[in-house]
Structure 1
Amino acid sequence: MKIRNTISLYIIAICIFSSCAKQTNPLTYTKNQLIFGSGGGFANQVNEYRLLENKRLFFRKNNDSTFIDLGRQKVKTVKKLFETSEMLFQEVSEFNEPGNMYYFVRLQKNGQAQSVVWGRPNITVPEKAKELHKHLMNLVPLNQ
């Protein structure tokens, strides 16, 4: 009986820490998230990353319906990035100047989104947006 209980506990633990655990879907996630990435060019390829308030980072290409989970991020780092985005969007409500190749940062909060998109030559981009994008991209593993 003791062995059966022990085996049952191991199975439950494995399920909790593996695929039995509920996966988060960034498209239906209702809390805050930072959406960032780049796109454009001849093939109009888009690389989109989503940093959720629950510290998970996701990736998808070309608006695929499925996301790749890139893992959990550090609490302090995520908190700082969300604070930085709040400051950015207090100063810049909207900025939409895409070019052939473009970069973007979007804050989805309380069901509303604010975004900064840039890439057009000879346009002055808010420096805080470029810095935030750089820090967000530092979260992305090199092979993505």
Structure 2
Amino acid sequence: MKQVSIFIFPLLLALTSLFVQGQSIRTAGNKMRQVRPASTDDTPITYTGNQILVGSGGKGTGLPATYCLLDNGKLFGKRSHDKEFTFIAQQTPVNTKRIFAVVEDKCKIKTVKFDHPGATSKFIHWRKGKQENKVVWAETDKKAPANYSKFYESFMATIPVELRLK
């Protein structure tokens, strides 16, 4: 798991910094940095700090999955039939801060109202304590608000296929 974490989060750093700069995901390099190990005391269910949940669902997407990044850097995943979130890896503080800055400042997740699910939908959900907002869009219906599709793709690209929930 530690070796996979060492691979995942440097990639996330590169992708997030490219997203913030408006560059394509495809230009990300292979720069790797060390990440710190994590305990799993906090979970998305009990955590009261900021959280970003990213996922998809519907008939055409296979089994729906949700990934949750806490503002302390812990990344979790959950399939629709799972009872609890599973710890995946620990994000670095710098990367975590960048991801939250993009979704809160550039995407304006706290205030954007957009709820247009379809047969195959994607979503980005922000919450802190009792405050929350969720943006949902379908692939074929109304276009997602500015920056949401790009943020979704950048976030998902940071999770290697072998670590994604199946």
CA distance in 2, matches of 1:34, 1:22: 17
Pair 1:52–1:63, CA change in 2 (3 A): farther
Pair 1:99–1:138, CA change in 2 (3 A): same
Q: Of 44, 48, 58, which aligns to 2:66?
A: 48
Please say if residues 65 and 79 of structure 2, whose CA atoms lie closer than 8 Å, have aligned partners that are also in contact: yes
Give RMSD over aligned pairs. 2.4
CA distance in 2, matches of 1:46, 1:106: 15
> Is 1:129 the equivalent of 2:134?
no
TM-score (ref. length: structure 1):
0.76
2:112 counterpart letter in structure 1? S
SS in structure 1 at match of 2:147: helix
SS in structure 2 at match of 1:85: helix
CA drift at 1:28: 1.1
Q: Of 47, 50, 62, which aligns to 1:29?
A: 47
**Superposed, which structure 2 residues align to 1:44-123 within 5 Å?**
45-62=63-80, 64-87=82-105, 88-89=107-108, 93-119=112-138, 121-123=140-142
1:73 counterpart letter in structure 2? Q
TM-score (ref. length: structure 2):
0.67
CA drift at 1:124: 2.1
Aligned residue-pair number: 126
1:71 counterpart letter in structure 2? A
- Which range is displaced more, 125-134 or 21-30? 21-30
Larger RCO (CA under 8 A, 6+ residues apart): 2
Listed as ranges, the gaps of 5+ residues in structure 2 are 1-36
SS in structure 1 at match of 2:47: coil
Q: Percent identity over the alignment?
A: 27
Pair 1:67–1:90, CA change in 2 (3 A): closer
Please say if residues 109 and 135 of structure 2, whose CA atoms lie closer than 8 Å, have aligned partners that are also in contact: no
Pair 1:91–1:113, CA change in 2 (3 A): closer
Structure with higher strand content: 1
- Runs (4 or more) in structure 1 with deviation over 6 Å come to none
Higher Cα Rg: structure 1 or 2? 1
SS in structure 2 at match of 1:89: coil
